[in-house]
Structure 1
């Protein structure tokens, strides 16, 4: 599978009038509060750090969860709400969260015990589980295969992209990641190795 990039890919900041410095929070139109708490707090372990009315629609409750690194995921919830995600343009396809390599098997067991189905795939640059939250929104749980500083992730991925284009490959795989890490003077030994197909997600 070969894919020729159509756009410039680089870790350099663009010449733009605004430069974001990180993700503050993401907000999702959720279902009911109980199932949202059961999945995100009680199963995935995200602390509920703030609850208040939705300031634009007070009949809804606004729940704030810490995803693990201080970045926040919020939901607008209410009773008798069972939205189904719509995957058209401008809508959320899935949310992805990082999990520790040593907790990968425990995470699969916890999903099974809570009756959440999942698919497991090797994505080349990382390894993922895909499941769905109670509203049907696709949730990806990601294990980074390589250990490098998070602030250098864009740099690593951009160089791995360059390596895969030179190689004529359709997607970034382990050899591209390892070559990029070596060139950048970072540890190229995988800290996680799983056995799964490349697949196509949920």
Structure 2
């Protein structure tokens, strides 16, 4: 439990006093359907290069596909030729994946929506306060979020910025972090960042 088990768990960018400190995300691996459909969605629609293909070292009857998500971080899939895609929504339970979120360029937001339309992938668009998101589904019904920050936040300071915005949000009495809290956090931390132009969109729940 936390060091303050009588109150709320603290939110901070400081490293915890834990026996292990991971250094980043190496990759995530999901159970996919077949190679053709997986490549069609993640490479041909979302633009992730297929950078490695090899047998699944734990199950040589399946193939392990590696995609570069755009910043050198990898998402991989175990696929088999005889496994059919199933676009039905997932039933969530503890331990399951709710959704995956990938970054997109703010200036290409309209182009992304058009590409989803042309590919026949429906989507919902929401203003999430400190970022702006499209929600769609892949060929296996997994919710995919395509998100862009309202300000350009440096990757190596993202946790620090979000923890500072959280503190400001709580002090402000707001229910969730909004663009003004993110702007105030960037200003407090001395990070120069200009807001990006994004369309108006409703707040609310995404694809369930």
Q: Which residue of 1 aligns with 2:33?
A: 31
* Greater relative contact order (Cα < 8 A, sep 6+): 1
Alpha-carbon distance between aligned partners in 1 of 2:165 and 2:173, rounded to the nearest angstrom: 12
Note the residue ranges of structure 2 that are not aligned, 5 or more in a row.
1-6
Question: 1:80 offset after TM fit, Å?
Answer: 2.6
- Count matched residues: 198
Matched, 1:81 2:87: no
Matched, 1:182 2:184: no
Matched, 1:98 2:98: no
Question: 1:191 offset after TM fit, Å?
Answer: 1.7
Matched, 1:197 2:202: yes
Q: Which residue of 2 aligns with 1:16?
A: 18
Question: 1:149 offset after TM fit, Å?
Answer: 1.4
Alpha-carbon distance between aligned partners in 1 of 2:199 and 2:172, rounded to the nearest angstrom: 23
* Deviation per residue, 1:116-150 (Å, 9 max, x gap): 00000111111110000000000000111101311
Question: 1:82 offset after TM fit, Å?
Answer: 3.4
Please report the RMSD computed on the Cα atoms of aligned residues, expressed in angstroms.
1.4
Alpha-carbon distance between aligned partners in 2 of 1:199 and 1:176, rounded to the nearest angstrom: 19
